[in-house]
Amino acid sequence: MINKVEIPGVNTAKLPVLTNAQMRELFVRMRSGEKAARDELITGNLRLVLSVIQRFNNRGEYVDDLFQVGCIGLMKAIDNFDLGQNVKFSTYAVPMIIGEIRRYLRDNNPIRVSRSLRDIAYKALQVRDALVNRLSREPTVQEIADELGLPLEEIVYALDSIQEPVSLFEPLYNDGGDPIYVMDQVSDESQQDSQWLEGISIRQALHRLNERERLILTLRFFEGKTQMEVAEEIGISQAQVSRLEKAALSHMRKYV
């Protein structure tokens, strides 16, 4: 199932949680060459991976796949963690786990991007992380471009190319009733007079609606407004607009 993580032979509810003292001791033992200590560190931080992958629940990916990728990031963090730095392991590990998952998602993006463009984007992300640590703030795209010695437009184009596409059917809001999707937020400005409303039968069906339903459909499909804009204009919630719109369209279909 998509939203459930199962580890063969492991009860995720009973995964151990290590204290800072236990972590430090295990790192010391691992650095001395004890393989069992590394295994304990991995097992003792699987909950950290589980917590991180919750951020990616709505990507349409199987979470057990994301969990495996996250574990790769965890192992990299364990192998590279420096005990001499005054920082908690989780603070160091979480960005590495997130980075590994994001790389996986980018590489599996349905939109194919050239290798050279991806390389520029990955370098820009690495420079961005380095600048955040150095400047203690989010750097501008111009600062990233200057650091790489590349034109600003090339950096913007590369970063845009690795962004994940958003489905029009991605739910944005759900109050327990009908969800509101991305497509409900997109106004149609290509043609102000929608062709499907020009037929006589549809005009007659419109007149069978009550005044508020007719107003909502007029604003949505004749004037190309989003559900949020319609909600603000007539003084109701966007969720109500969505429900009334769907009910009105369903009612109209009986007469068309």
Q: How far is CA 187 from CA 22, 119, 182, 232, in A?
A: 56, 35, 10, 15
Domains of the chain by range and CATH?
A: 1-108 (1.20.120.1810), 111-165 (1.10.10.10), 171-253 (1.10.10.10)
pLDDT at 195 exceeding the cut of 60: no
Q: What is the pLDDT of residues 91-126, one digit of tens each?
A: 889 988 988 888 887 777 665 666 777 788 888 988
- 48, 81 Cβ separation under 8 angstroms: no
Query: Given a cut of 80, is residue 50 above it in pLDDT?
Result: yes
Which element (helix H / strand E) includes 43?
helix 35-44
pLDDT band at 25 (very low <50, low <70, confident <90, very high): very high
pTM above 0.85, yes or no: no
Task: Tell me the per-residue pLDDT of 10-19, one tens digit each, with 9 for 90 and over.
Answer: 566 777 888 8
Burial class of residue 143, CB neighbours in 10 A (0-12, 13-18, 19+): middle
pLDDT in tens, 135-158: 888 889 899 999 999 998 888 888
Half-sphere exposure of 159 (CA within 13 A, CB side): 18
Whether the pLDDT of residue 177 is over 50: the answer is yes
Greatest mean pLDDT among 115-119, 177-181, 196-200 lies in 115-119
**Element counts in the chain: helices (H) and strands (E):** 12, 2
Residue with tokens 């609606």: 209
Is the Cβ–Cβ distance between 159 and 144 less than 8 Å?
no
Diameter of the chain measured on Cα atoms: 83
Whether the CA torsion 16, 17, 20, 21 is positive or negative: it is negative
The H-or-E segment that residue 180 falls in is strand 180-181
Residue 63: per-residue pLDDT:
78
The pLDDT, as a whole number, for residue 113 is 60
Confidence label for 2 from pLDDT (cuts 50, 70 and 90): very low
Q: What is the pLDDT, as a whole number, of residue 173?
A: 62
